[in-house]
Amino acid sequence: MPYAGSLSLRINWDGNAVSGVAVKSARPQASRLLAGKTPNDAILLLPRLFSVCGKAQQAAALAVVSAAQGRDIPQLDKLELGVACEVMREHLWRLLLDWPKLLGLPQQQQQFMRWHAALNVIAADQGRAENLPAELFQVLLGIDYKERAHSTTLLEEWLNAKRGVLAPVVAALELKESRLNFAGKQAICDFMPVWTVSDVRQRFAAEMNAEFSAMPQYNQRPLETGALAHVYSLPLLQTILRKHPSRLLARFIARLIDCMDSALALGNRRVEAVEAGDGGGLSMVRTARGMLLHRVRIQTERVTEYLIVAPTEWNFHPQGALQGLIGLQESNQARLRETVKLFALSLDPCVEFQIEVCDA
């Protein structure tokens, strides 16, 4: 049974502006179900508990158990391929279905279903992906893919020309973001650095506990993880962020870059693991939503501790990225709700969320 949970987003509003944002997570700690299991049982159970990013969860579980037992990760290439295809499916779901719907535009359901089926075949190592990049560039962006060009170079050309099925989505999102007005300086959450799993072990070894798993932070500050955190230093993203500092368009374009780069290099490294001492292991998977961590401790062939830190815990930290809504000037509650949905979708929670607007 999927182990989902939910998020509650409470917006304090005085009728003219947002004065506060409270984020409450009802996401259960799936790791409690794993204590006392054999390592193999834990590996089998985890992907069944998560309806979203199941491949990433499976890869993280297999990697972390292997590291704790001092073994190489079995069938790593196949795991990487499965995660990469899942990342693309998640990105395409948002790009072709969720974003258009929220912006009042037609969804591209048939195209999504065709690519979804193709990626399932590729992930099962039963199909080839040579034509996938060219097809993505042609349909999504309306431009011919050039093997010699980097994806960000092609995206720069596209943002000027704006063709393909995503052009209306980008135009609508850009217009929405340009109309946002904030009183005072907008609160900005720091981006998560591009860490290796060894970096994570070094920085968080003493903090890996249930409290950290539910509400992670670095140097007592929350961080934003995800595609934008991974590529925000690119000149293209820097230009977008200067023009649209609320990060809505930047997160959308970063997701598109990650989708394209995944298609260009299916199976590139997204799964890492390292032994953590005393029967312990730590794994990291770069998912569509950001950094997923698994931490395990195994003694006498039983799991004695299992922690999961999902990207949603970083991006929807109570003091995290959604605090950027504070100071938003808006006198219409319906429009306010639409804007909050845009911010939440741009941070891509892996669970359902509810919005409550309260009088300040």
Q: What is the pLDDT of residue 256?
A: 93
Measured in degrees and rounded to the nearest 5, phi and psi for residue 277 equal 85, 150
The continuous run of DSSP H or E covering 54 comes out as helix 54-68
Looking at residue 184, what is its pLDDT? 79
Classify residue 78 as left (phi > 0), alpha (psi -120 to 50) or beta.
alpha
Quote the CA–CA distance of 62 and 59 in Å, as a whole number: 5
Q: Are 93 and 115 in contact (CB under 8 A)?
A: no
Question: What's the confidence (pLDDT) of residue 49?
Answer: 80
Structural domain including 348 reads 6-359
Whether the pLDDT of residue 227 is over 60: the answer is yes
Residue 162 falls inside a structural domain: yes
Residue 1 within a domain: no
- What is the model's pTM? 0.93
- pLDDT-based confidence at 54, cuts 50/70/90? confident
Q: Identify which of 325, 315, 259 has the alpha carbon closest to the alpha carbon of residue 115.
A: 259
Question: For residues 159 and 173, what is the distance between their CA atoms, to the nearest angstrom?
Answer: 13
Q: For tokens 């808006």, name the residue.
A: 330
Q: What's the pLDDT score for residue 156?
A: 78
Query: What are 127-135's contacts with CB under 8 Å, separation 24+?
Result: 129/263, 129/266, 132/263, 133/260, 133/263, 133/264
SS3 for 20-88, per residue?
A: EEEEEECCCCHHHHCCCCCHHHHHHHHHHHCCCCHHHHHHHHHHHHHHHCCCCCCCHHHHHHHHHHHHH
Answer yes or no: is pLDDT of 26 > 80: no
> Each residue of 101-145: pLDDT tens digit?
999 999 999 999 999 999 999 998 887 777 888 899 899 988 887
CATH of the domain at 168: 1.10.645.10
Per-residue pLDDT tens over the stretch 148-196: 456 677 777 788 777 899 999 999 999 999 999 998 788 889 999 999 9
Q: Is residue 214 part of a domain?
A: yes
Q: How far apart are CA 149 and CA 182, in angstroms?
A: 38
Number of domains in the chain: 1
Does residue 76 lie in a domain region?
Answer: yes
Summary mean pLDDT of the chain: 90
* 1 has a pLDDT exceeding 50: no
Does 24 map to a domain? yes
